[in-house]
Amino acid sequence: MPAQPLNRICYVEDDEDIQKIVRVSLERIGKMTVEVVSDPMVAIDTIKAFKPELVMLDWMMPGMDGPTLYRMMKEVPEVRDLPVVFITAKASQRELDELRSLGAAGTISKPFSPKELPVQLRAIWSKLP
């Protein structure tokens, strides 16, 4: 379990409505600091600048999907070690298992409950080494 509590989160998501809900949920209920990225193409730069403790990736995004972005992150030294949680609506068990084996910290399935989201994230955080 990491020494400090989970505070800074970067969320890559193209849907502005969901961005808003996640932001309210994490800021108001979870009392966290959240940076949202709409465009996955610039996500890595934003993450480098924001220096989050954890990154949330949407699975399905136009232009580039979550898993592709995740693999790209693995190529960039500054961000490669950040824990990543996938938000997904349709991933099959096989795909989830594959991502776990690649090193994803966890998955949260859509639709998620904004009330529960901070609890779910902290549960994943507490299980990290």
Partner 1 sequence: MIPSSKPDSAALAAPARGADARDSADPQRVLADRVEQLYSQMPLGIVVTLVIGSIATYELWDSRTRDLVLFWWGLVLLVTAARAALYVGYRSSKGKLAEAAQWLRWLGISALANGVNWGFAGAVFFPSHTDEQQVFLAFLLAGIASAGIPTYAASWPMFAIYAGAIVLPFTYVLATFGNRLFAEIALLVPLFWLVNVGIAYRLNQVFYAGYRLRHAYGRLTEDYTALNRKLEQQLVELDEAQRQVDASGRKLALFAERAPIAVLELDSEGRIQQINHAAENLFGWTSNELVEKNASVKILIRPEFHADFDAQWQQLIASRAPVAHLKIRNPRRDGLEVVCEWNVTPLVNTEGGVVGVIAQGQDITRQMEAEQLKKEFTSTLSHELRTPLTSIIGSLQLINSGVMGDVDKEVAELTGVAERNGQRLLDLINDILDIEKIESGKLNLVPELLTLDELVGESLVLNKGFAERFQVRYEPRGTLLPVQVKADRKRLLQVMTNLLSNAAKFSPAGEAVQVSMEDLGTRVRIGVHDHGPGIPENFRARIFGRFAQADSSATRQKGGTGLGLAICKRLIELMDGKIGFTDREGGGTVFFFELPKHGAA
Residue 23 has φ and ψ, to the nearest 5°, of -60, -50
Q: Is 90 in the site for partner 1 (CB under 8 A)?
A: yes
Closer CB to partner 1, 94 or 129, in the complex: 94
Cα dihedral: 35, 109, 86, 120 (round 10) = 60
CB 84 within 8 A of CB 55: yes
Minimal distance, residue 106 CB to partner 1, in Å? 15
Minimal distance, residue 113 CB to partner 1, in Å? 6
Return the residue of 1, 3, 4, 17 that touches partner 1, per CB under 8 A: 17
Q: Which span sits near partner 1 by CB under 8 A: 33-41, 43-51, 62-70, 89-97?
A: 89-97
Work out the widest C-alpha separation in the chain, in whole angstroms: 36
Q: Which of 62, 57, 32 is nearest to 47 (CA)?
A: 57
| Site of interaction with partner 1 (CB under 8 A) | 15, 17-18, 20-21, 24-25, 28-29, 60, 89-90, 92-94, 110-115
